[in-house]
Structure 1
Amino acid sequence: MTRSPFTRRTVLASSAVLASSTALAACGGGGDEGGDTAEKIENPDENINPEGLPIVEEEITISFMSRRSNASAEDWNEVAAAQTTQELTNIEVDWGLVNEEAAIERRNLLLTSGDYPEVFYRTGVPSGDIAKYGEQGTFIPLNDLIEKYMPNLTARMEEYPALRTGLTFPDGNIYSLPGIYDPTSLGLRYQTKFWIRQDWLDQFGMATPETLEEYQAYLEEVAASIEGSIPLGGQDMGSILTSLYGTFGLANHGNDAGLIDLDADGKVRYFPASEEYRDLLSFLAGLYSKGLLQQDIFATDAAAFSANGTEGLLGSCGVQTPSGYFGKEGDNYVALKPLVRNAGDEPAWHAVRSELSSIGNFVMTDKSEHPIEIARWMDFWFGEEGAKLFFLGVEGESYEEVDGRDELIPELLEDKTVDEALKPYVLYLGGWYPGWATDDWFRGVETSEQSTEGSKVVEPYALKEVWPAFTFTAEESQQITTIGNDISKYAEESLAAFVTGDRSLDEWDDHVATFEQIGLADFVAAHQTAYERRS
C-alpha cells in the first residue's frame, strides 16, 4: 500500500494554526468606523446626486488599495478612461497602487493592522476572507447600496440570477461586487476549446475525430508523419483535462465550483476521487506512454507553449484560440466537437464558465467615508457607457464605430499588441476586475473571431446549469481551506504520477483511501451544506 505524508493529525494541527492566526487578524478589524459608515448610508450627504452625473456636486477623493498588474499603466490617473470618469463623476480616486507581486501580502498586512483604506480593489480577496471580515464588520454589506444606488448592477443581477446566487454569503449579505461574463459572449463562457490541425487532417486523409479512438489515431499519425512534432500539448495540464471533462462525465456543473460536481445520486462529490476521473487518467496515461502527450507537460509554461505552436509542432491543444498564441500558424487549427468515448454516445461539453466570473475584487470597508458615492461610482462601470470606457477607452481616441460595431482604431495597433496599444486608454488590463465583459467591448483573445467560431462548435453540447463558486461561513471556510490545501497538493502530485506512469492506476483504491485519510469526507460535507443552502 502506498502511504501518504498527509494525516488527520496534520489537518488538525494546521487547523489550530489557522484558528490562531484568524483570532490575531480579528484584532485589526471592525472598529468604530463601521457605525459612521452606516450613518452615512442612512443619511446621505447633500453633496450627493442620487442619480445621474455628476455623482457629487463638489469634487471628493476616495481611497483604494488596488493591485496593479504589470500589463497596466504605472499611474492609473493618467489613463484616459480614469480621467474621463473623473470628469463625468466629479470623483477622484486615490488608487493606492501596489504591484501585483506584493498586492496580496500588502492587503493582508493592512487588514491585520487595522490600517486599511475605504476599498480593496482588484486584490482578489478570497471567499473565506470575505466571510471572515464580513462577519467581523470590517467589510460592510452592500445589499442596501446595491438596491438603492446601483441600478446598472441591479439590472445585470435581474438578468443573470446566478450573480446574486454566487455573491450572497450564508448570512444573506453581499460583501463584494462581481466580475461578469455576459452569457451571450460565447468566447467568454466557453474559453477553453480542444483544437486540431485541419491541414494535417487533410494531409493524412483523415476525417475530423469524434471518438477517443479516432482522436488517438490522429495523434499517432502526427507522431509518425511530422518530424519533431508534439501530438498533444499545452501550456499546462489543466486545459487538456477540462477539454475532456464532458467526455468522461466530470465537472457536470461547470468549471467555477472547483473540482466539485454531483454524483449519479445527486450528491456532491470531489470528482478527482471518482471512477470517471480514473478513466480519464487512464486514457491520458496511455497517450503519455506512447509519446503522444507532451512529455514535459507538468513542467512547461505559457512561453514554451506559444513557441511550440508558433514553430508548427503541436498537433492538438486546449486553449482559447490558437491564432492568439501562435500567430498565422494558429490559423491552421479548427475546434473539435466534444469527443465521445464510444461511437453513438451523446457529446457533452462541460468546460463552461458561470456568468459570475469572479468575486473578491471589490470590497468596501467600515472605514469608508463615502459609501454611497463609491457605490454609485462603481455602478457606472456596470452600465454600457462605463463598460465601454473600462474596456475600450475613449471614443475617437482609442476606438470608433465601424459598420455598427465599436472597433479599436487601426493606427493604435501598428507594431503593438492589443494590450500595449490600450495601456494609455483602458483600466481592465491585467484582469482581476469587477465589471461587465461582453464581446461588444471586450477585445481579448477570448472574443477573437477564431475563439468565437470555436465556441459555436461546442455550444450545442454545453451544460445548461452552471454553478458559480460556492460561498461559506468563516468557520466552514477555515475547515475547507485547511483540508482543501492538503487535498489539492496530494491530488496534483498524484495526477502527475499516474499520467507519467510513476504510479500505477492499479493503486486507485489506496489513492482514494488517502484522500479519506486527509479528510475528504469533511471537505465534501461542507460543500454539500453549501449546495443545499443554495438549492
Structure 2
Amino acid sequence: MSHHPFTRRAALASGAALASAAVLASCGDDSEEIDTLDQIENPDENITPEGMPIANELITIDFLSARPSTTAEDWNEVSVIQATEELTNVHIDFGLVPQDGATERRNLVLSSGDYPSAFYRTGVGTGDIATYGERGTFIALNDLLEKHMPNLTALMEKSPQIREGLTFPDGNIYSTPQIYDPSFLGLRYMFKLWARQDWLDQFGMAVPETTEEFEAYLEESVNTIDGAIGLTDPVNLGETYPTLYGAFGVANQGTAGGQIDLDPDTGKVRYFPITDGYREMMEYLNGLYSKGLIPADIFSSDRATFTAQGSEGIVAACGTPAPAGYFGEVGEKYVVVPPLTRNAGETPVWHAVRSELASICHFVMTDRCEHPVALARWMDYWYSEEGARQFFLGNQGDSWEEVDGEYKLLPEITEGQSVDDGLKPHSIFMGGSYPGWVTERWFGGVESMPQAMESSKAMEPYAIPEVWSAFTFTPEESDVLGTVGTEIGKYLGEARAGFITGQLPLSEWGTFVETLESIGLSEFLEIQQTAYDRRQ
C-alpha cells in the first residue's frame, strides 16, 4: 500500500466511485443481494440446520484467498481440506492468488463488482470492512452468529473482549477473528529479551535486572568475545522495542493499540511516541548504538542475517520469541531477561502483551453468497475443538497421533525437514493470516517450543492485567486514518531509526513533535479518543 496521502486518497475515491457505479449497475436486478439476506432467513432445503453434513447434496462456494508461498499450490489437494469436504458436503473453490498480490486483486474485483462469496485470508483492512459493510457488500454476521455459529459464539461468551473487538461502530460484526487462547502465553507474550547464560557465567554476572546492568552485559560481551554482536533482532529492532516498553512506561495497554495507550495522569488516550518515557527509551537505544552495542546496519538487516549470526554463536542479546527456534543448538544457551527496570528496586512490569483478538481481517462474506448459512456453518467448524485441531495438525492418522493425551506429529512429518514443510500436504495454516482459534495444544510454531513457553510463564507475574484489542472505526474515520495515520506511522519509523543511529539528533525532539502535529496528530488522536469512548 502506498504511504503517500494523495495516492491513498485517490485510490479510495476511485474505488468508491467504481463500487457505487457497480452498485448502480446492478440496481435493475438486485435479486442476488436479496437472495443472500433472504437465504439467511430462509435457507435452501438442502442446507441442514445443525450437525454434519452441512448440505445433504454437495454445494460449491467460491472464495478469493491469499495463498502464502509456504502452503500447498492447490488447497483442495490438502488432506485436511479433502476430509472436511467429505464431512460437510461443502466444496470450496478457494480462488487462490499469491499472498503478495492479494490486496490488489481484492480491490480490483470489489471495484469491478464481480466478486466472490467470500474473501479468505486476504487481510481486508478495518476501514474497508467498515465501508463495504455499511454499503451491504459485506454481510453483517450478527444473525448467523446467533443461529448458526455456536462454536465461535461460545468463544466470544467466554471472552467478551473478542465480541467487543469485532463489533463495528454501527453495531455489526462483519468478519470472523483470529483468536489466541488467553492461556497460550507463548503467543501472547511473544517478544522477549534474551542473553547468553554461558557468557554471563564467564563474566561472573547475574541475569540483568536493570537497563544499566543490561548495558554492562552488552559492553562486556562486545569487548571480550571475539566478533560478538551486542543486541539485535530479526526485524530492525521491531521485536525488541516491546520488551522495553514496561521499563520506560509506555504502551501500558499492550501492543494491539499500535502507538496508542492511556495517559496515566488524564485517563485520555495518548500517542506515546511523543512522551518523555519514549524519548528516554530512544536516548537509551542511541547510547547503546553509539557505543557499538547494536549492529551499525540494524536498520537494513533481515531475518536471514539474524538467524545466521545467531547460529554462528556471536549474538549477545536479542529480542525474539525463542532463540532455539532460530539458532538451533546455540539457541539453547540463552536465558530470558526479566522485564527490566530503570532503577534497582523498582517493580518490573511487562507491557509486551498481545490481545487474544489477534486480527479481524481474514474472513468476510459478501452479498454474492448463495449459501450464507452453509458458509457460516463451514466457517464455524474451524472454531470447534475438533476443527481447530484439524486446521493446525491435519487429520489424525495422516499427520499426527494421540499419545498419552498429547497430540504428537508423526515421525515422517518432522524427519529431516521443518514442521511447516512436513505439514504442507496436510494443513494450510502455514504463513499465518488465517481466521481461527489458536491454542498451545494444537499449534506447532516457534511460539509453542518449550523455551518460548517457559520464558513466557516467567513473564506472567509482571504482565499488565488490562489489554486492549485494536479499535474499530467508521468509514469516515478510516479514511482519515488511511491517509494521516499512514503518514504518521511512516514518519515515526524514519525518525525512530534516525534517533537511534544519531542521524537525527535527540536535540531535534521538538521538531519531531511539531512535524507529527503538522501531519495531523491532533485529528488522529481525536479519532482514537472517539473510538476509545465508544468502547467504554
Per the TM superposition, whether the score is higher than 0.5 is yes
In the alignment, structure 2 segments of 5+ residues that lack a partner are none
Written as runs of structure 1 = structure 2, the 5 A alignment for 1:252-291 is: 252-264=252-264, 265-291=266-292
Q: Distance in 2 between matches of 1:279 and 1:86?
A: 56
Q: Which deviates the most, 465-474 or 407-416?
A: 407-416
Aligned to 1:28: 22
Structure 1 residue 20 displacement after superposition: 4.9
In the alignment, structure 1 segments of 5+ residues that lack a partner are 1-5
Q: Distance in 2 between matches of 1:22 and 1:241?
A: 37
TM-score normalised according to structure 2 size: 0.96
Aligned to 1:340: 341
Contact 2:412 2:422 in 1 (8 A): no
Once the two structures are superposed, residues 134-180 of structure 1 have per-residue CA deviations (whole angstroms, 9 ceiling, x without a partner) of 01110010010011000000000001111101100000000000001
Aligned to 2:183: 184
Aligned to 2:301: 300
1:474 aligns with 2:465: no
Structure 1 residue 407 displacement after superposition: 1.1
Contact 1:29 1:136 in 2 (8 A): no
Structure 1 residue 21 displacement after superposition: 4.3
Q: Which deviates the most, 364-373 or 454-463?
A: 454-463
Contact 1:29 1:133 in 2 (8 A): no
Q: Distance in 2 between matches of 1:403 and 1:185?
A: 21
Structure 1 residue 283 displacement after superposition: 0.2
Q: Distance in 2 between matches of 1:529 and 1:15?
A: 22
Judged with a 3 Å threshold, the aligned counterparts in structure 2 of structure 1 residues 398 and 193 are, in CA distance, closer, same or farther, namely same
2:217 maps to a residue whose letter is Y
1:176 maps to a residue whose letter is S
Aligned to 1:403: 404
Q: Percent identity?
A: 58
Structure 1 residue 101 displacement after superposition: 2.0
Written as runs of structure 1 = structure 2, the 5 A alignment for 1:192-271 is: 192-235=191-234, 236-264=236-264, 265-271=266-272
Once the two structures are superposed, residues 176-222 of structure 1 have per-residue CA deviations (whole angstroms, 9 ceiling, x without a partner) of 00001001111011111111111111111101110011110000100
Structure 1 residue 72 displacement after superposition: 0.2
Contact 1:11 1:518 in 2 (8 A): no
Judged with a 3 Å threshold, the aligned counterparts in structure 2 of structure 1 residues 271 and 22 are, in CA distance, closer, same or farther, namely farther
TM-score normalised according to structure 1 size: 0.96
Structure 1 residue 29 displacement after superposition: 4.8
1:155 maps to a residue whose letter is A
Contact 2:392 2:443 in 1 (8 A): yes
Aligned to 1:450: 451
1:250 maps to a residue whose letter is V
Once the two structures are superposed, residues 473-527 of structure 1 have per-residue CA deviations (whole angstroms, 9 ceiling, x without a partner) of 0000001111011111111111111100112111111211111111000000000
Q: Distance in 1 between matches of 2:382 and 2:71?
A: 18
Judged with a 3 Å threshold, the aligned counterparts in structure 2 of structure 1 residues 499 and 397 are, in CA distance, closer, same or farther, namely same
Aligned to 1:503: 504
1:45 aligns with 2:47: no
Q: Distance in 1 between matches of 2:465 and 2:41?
A: 41
Q: Distance in 1 between matches of 2:211 and 2:20?
A: 53
Q: Which deviates the most, 19-28 or 378-387?
A: 19-28
1:347 maps to a residue whose letter is P
Written as runs of structure 1 = structure 2, the 5 A alignment for 1:483-494 is: 483-494=484-495
Once the two structures are superposed, residues 54-104 of structure 1 have per-residue CA deviations (whole angstroms, 9 ceiling, x without a partner) of 111111111111101100001101111101100110111101011112111
1:164 aligns with 2:163: yes
Judged with a 3 Å threshold, the aligned counterparts in structure 2 of structure 1 residues 321 and 29 are, in CA distance, closer, same or farther, namely farther
Q: Which deviates the most, 141-150 or 496-505?
A: 496-505
Q: Distance in 2 between matches of 1:530 and 1:465?
A: 17
Q: Distance in 2 between matches of 1:17 and 1:420?
A: 38
Aligned to 2:76: 77
Aligned to 1:415: 416
Aligned to 1:128: 127
1:434 aligns with 2:435: yes
1:146 aligns with 2:145: yes
